[in-house]
A and B are shown apart, each in its own frame.
Chain A
Amino acid sequence: MLLALASGLGWASPARADDPPPAPPSVTELTPPKLIFGGEPVYPASASGNANVVVEAVVGADGRVESARAVEGAPPFDVAAADAVRGYRFEPAQRQGKPVRARVRLIVAFTEKTVPAPAPTPTAPEGPAPVVPAPTPSPAAPGTPEEVHVTGRRYETRSPTEHRMTRAEVRLMAGAFGDPFRAIEILPGVVPTISGLPYYYVRGAPPAAVGYFVDEVRVPYLFHFGLGPGVIHPALVNEVALHPAAFPGRFGRYAGGIVAGETKEPSAKLTGEGLIRLYDAGAFVEAPLAGGKAHVAVGGRYSYTGLLLTLLLPETTIQYQDYNARASVELGDRTRLSLFAFGAFDYASDKKDGKENVLFASEFHRVDLRLDHDGDNRSHSRVALTVGLDRTRIQADRFARDWVVGIRGRHRMALGKSVEAEVGADLTVDLYGGDLPSIYAVSRDEYEQLANLYSPRTETASGAWLTALMKPLPGMEITATARADVFTSMGKVAVGPSPRLSARVPLRDKVTALFALGVAPQPPAFAIPLPAVGYGGLPGGLSYAYQKSAGVEVLLPLGFRGTAVGFHHSYFNLRDVFADRSDADIEAPQAKNNGPGQAYGLELLLTRKMANRVSATVSYTLSRSQLGSTTTRPAVINLFDRTHVFQAAGAVDMSHGWFGSIRTVIYTGWPKQDDLLALREGRLPLFFRFDARLEKRWTWRKSGYISLIFEGLNVTASKEVLSQKCSTDGCKNDEFGPLIVPSIGVEGAL
């Protein structure tokens, strides 16, 4: 298989009538971007033969690839090539010694046979990958604007200390089911609550303090029933970022961390994929229209779990479905109008005496209309309007409804050769409604609980931020953000300042120091993220996280990249209803304040993208999460603290269309909670599990494929110990599970 070779570099945009006058200096001073780091592209499993793909990429002034799309080449090579190029790093193009954004064209070549990569050419001495930069570009014609015009849409401020995973990286990861959102579990700092349950503690912050976003749109929940398939079709997701601290300015209102997914750029060709499994089926199709000026994508998933359950448990109904749709149209060279809609529905019930009893029902819908515009001088603007509807009903309770209306805007601009600024603001209005009972028909306690969670009310959250990105030296990035949010609910007002500072500082050729500091406020949040369910009136006020982390990133031989980050987060007024497992009251009018807390530790991550048929990811988190003292107890270890969390995943291309991958997860057991003094000394037994994935692909018509996929989470059927009950006869483990998620599916693509 494989390898990528570069080709020409082209400056694409012709001069426009409204372009500024030609720059007097000679454009021959333009120096093209030089590749300094790039991985080998993944040879598509469904493919056969050799292929060349021309990828057009926008390389930012910081050397990162802001966007990449295949402009020539057939599927599935085009997608793989663009995915590969997005991970490249360049020495930025320069004009008169100043770094500038540039659009480059690369030829990514795939060969089916397994051959060693050719030696890098002298022009890319630091690049471990067999990708070489293009030859020196032709001089720009007279009249070419001084600023190179690019068409990249992905021009978002990134955090120097974030983790990013592309779908291409996680597609073969065992136990992730091809979903980048589920794959974040493998990242360091992410501590699982219970194996297989995608609710995580991030650096000691509980799941309710972690925010989920897709294209900057807040998502109530990411997985059907909390542990099922994702609600966003993986084919639509380009990458997912985990921001454990010092989030980009456009994110806020969560103290624990941000999980942000980005949808992929519209495809220039008709693409699609589908998946049929034992219990559900899903598909995603995207097509260009009007000669590529517009794009339409539709996807969705439908479960037929009910049919299976009818055979096994005729009194039980479980149903889920979701939809994703996107339409975009280019309004000129620099402006795009997009409409993105997605939603999900979950339903569970049983029957008693012939009457259907709803156990849980929840749904959400989002429609996001946004306008993106690339301006001159590296500027980019986005304005967007979001409308949503959330509804939830849980057993024996009422149903809650929330109409969500949000607007947001941001503008990024260059303030000089090494300083950029982004300014933005957003406003979200939640119009909560509920089916509150008559005060005469229910008990006082029940009514108050319902009134807290379901009461009709209007809540607002508004924020504004200013971010400065400074690059005083080559390779150095300093991101400083000043953000503040204002929350209102039922006459209460709270203001949450949120300053942030993060930096990348190159120490040596392949060693970069990472720093992050941040303050993150959050309004009271329900213990489990449920659509339309939340506390009214800001009970207890805002929670705050003070985030501090520092570490290094190292480019290692054989294509490995490693990071080691130490962190210390302090939490104030943070409510975690599960902090005391024996006294968790999820339906209390408000979660108890657990006092000041802290989490500290060391995170290690070692990754290698697919190259020479092998990819690998290893992560290890050594951490301690503590709850501060209260009037009734001393400071104690958080009951969900896990000292060690180790994960290792690897995937192998076994040729002839066979792909195998395996992942192991090992972590320390919870602290014991059975001692009278609640000192929580001692640990429950550790937990380990293995996930496995085996895929066989057949290609058809050179551009499509069909795969048979066997995948399982916890194939070792490991049980997790939740507590120990001791008596005079000794101690007995209270075990959970085994929670096994098997999947046999057929996946195909056009």
Chain B
Amino acid sequence: MSLRRALACVVLCACVPATDDAEARGAAGFDIVPSATSAGASFATDDGYQITVDRMVMVLVAATTDSQDYGSLGRVLLGTDRAQVFSRAIPEGPHQVTLGFTGLYLGYEAKELIARVDGWNSIRPDEQERLTRAADSDRSSNYQGPALLLTLHADKGDTHLRMQVALGSVSRISGTGRAATVDVKRNALAARTADVRPEGLFADSNGTSSFRSFAEADASGDGLIVPAELAAGKITAREAQDAELPSPDRNTMGLLLARMQTGLLVVRP
């Protein structure tokens, strides 16, 4: 201890040194911006359906190769929420960060699961419960929950349809186009903006939108499209090719999964 510090200690009664400068680290991620349609405004498909998203819960994660953050299980947010999804403790400098959907790891006990998910309390109890069971799209998985809870209704003339589905992220279908490079700064978030666009769930790569395949999946004709019907619903060859779906997933469930991966979130240039 230096004489100066000793004197300061006596005079100021404050000897414990302040925190040292730690290694400069920051965060990289995305600023998720809801849209009018994700918040409940209707939109029309090119084949004449008026689609209204009633409720949308997403579980997102931002990933980088240099993060030292191993404790996060992702962030839960509603389609109406503006939220930041980021990866922490990244060294300063340019880094590529990817925005993706993730299902909660169901191996954790419920309390531990909740403790590791941001935004958990922003959703309803029934939605919390649904996130802790296997997704409709991948029932073979007992360890990862849904990444997207989607409830919507579609109207066209006298046709009124409802769809309720819990889509997982475990899939043979991989998404592209949500990676971005950001310049990480000390103690700051370097973020890119990503828009939530539910229109993308029903649009192909050319921007042409259609709900017809999903409407036809309602095999029971009761107006409610359930996951089993989506898994059995047929899609056109053009839709399968456009979504690059492997043969086991050439159905409306697979199409919805592919569009979720590629079209639901749009990162601004």
Residue numbers of A with Cβ under 8 A of B are: 306, 317, 319, 343, 345, 347, 358, 361-363, 365, 389, 391-393, 398-399, 435, 437-448
Contacts and interface: CB of A to CB of B under 8 A. Distances in A.
A46 B95 CA distance: 75
Given A363-B15, A365-B13, A440 B20 contact: no
Interface residues of B, number: 29
A440 B15 contact: no
A345 B72 CA distance: 37
Contacts of A393: 16-17, 19
A446 B22 CA distance: 14
Contacts of B72: 443-444
A392 B187 contact: no
Contacts of A399: 16-19
Contacts of A347: 1, 15-16
Given A361-B16, A399-B16, A443-B71, 16 more contacts: A317-B1, A347-B1, A358-B17, A391-B14, A399-B19, A438-B188, A439-B27, A440-B25, A441-B88, A441-B89, A441-B187, A442-B25, A444-B71, A446-B89, A447-B88, A448-B71
Interface centre among A362, A437, A442, A446 (most CB of B within 10 A): A442
Contacts of B89: 440-443, 446
B16 A443 contact: no
Contacts of B88: 439-444, 447
Interface in B103-140: 115-116
Contact of A441 (B1, B18, B22): B22
A438 B27 CA distance: 10
Contacts of A319: 1
A375 to B, nearest CB: 36
B186 interface: yes
A398 B18 CA distance: 8
Contacts of A392: 16
A400 to B, nearest CB: 9
B116 A444 contact: yes
A319 B15 CA distance: 11
B22 A437 contact: yes
A361 B18 CA distance: 10
B15 A361 contact: yes
B80 to A, nearest CB: 23
Interface in B4-33: 9, 13-20, 22, 24-27
A306 B86 CA distance: 45
B15 A438 contact: no
Contacts, number: 85
A438 to B, nearest CB: 4
Given A442-B89, A443-B89, A435 B18 contact: yes
Contacts of A443: 68-72, 88-89
Nearest to A397: B19
Contacts of A343: 13
Contacts of B16: 345, 347, 361-363, 391-393, 399
A366 B112 CA distance: 40
18 contacts: A319-B1, A361-B16, A389-B14, A393-B16, A399-B17, A437-B22, A438-B187, A440-B26, A440-B187, A441-B22, A441-B27, A442-B89, A443-B68, A443-B69, A443-B71, A444-B72, A448-B71, A448-B115
B179 to A, nearest CB: 20
Contacts of B27: 439-441
A358 B20 contact: yes
Nearest to B29: A440
Contacts of A345: 9, 15-16
B110 to A, nearest CB: 14
A399 B20 CA distance: 10
B118 to A, nearest CB: 8
B77 interface: no
A46 B20 CA distance: 50
A347 B86 CA distance: 37
A283 to B, nearest CB: 16
A363 B14 contact: yes
B12 to A, nearest CB: 10
Contacts of B115: 448
A362 B186 CA distance: 28
A361 to B, nearest CB: 4
B59 interface: no
A306 B24 CA distance: 32
B1 to A, nearest CB: 5
Contacts of A444: 69, 71-72, 88, 116
A362 B16 CA distance: 6
A533 to B, nearest CB: 12
Contacts of B86: 440
Interface centre among B20, B24, B70 (most CB of A within 10 A): B20
A398 B1 contact: no
A444 B29 CA distance: 14
Interface centre among A306, A392, A443 (most CB of B within 10 A): A443
B19 A435 contact: yes
Contacts of A435: 18-19
A361 B17 contact: yes
Contacts of B186: 441
Contacts of A437: 22, 187
Closest 10 CB pairs of A and B: A445-B71, A440-B27, A438-B187, A444-B71, A443-B69, A391-B16, A361-B16, A441-B25, A444-B72, A435-B19
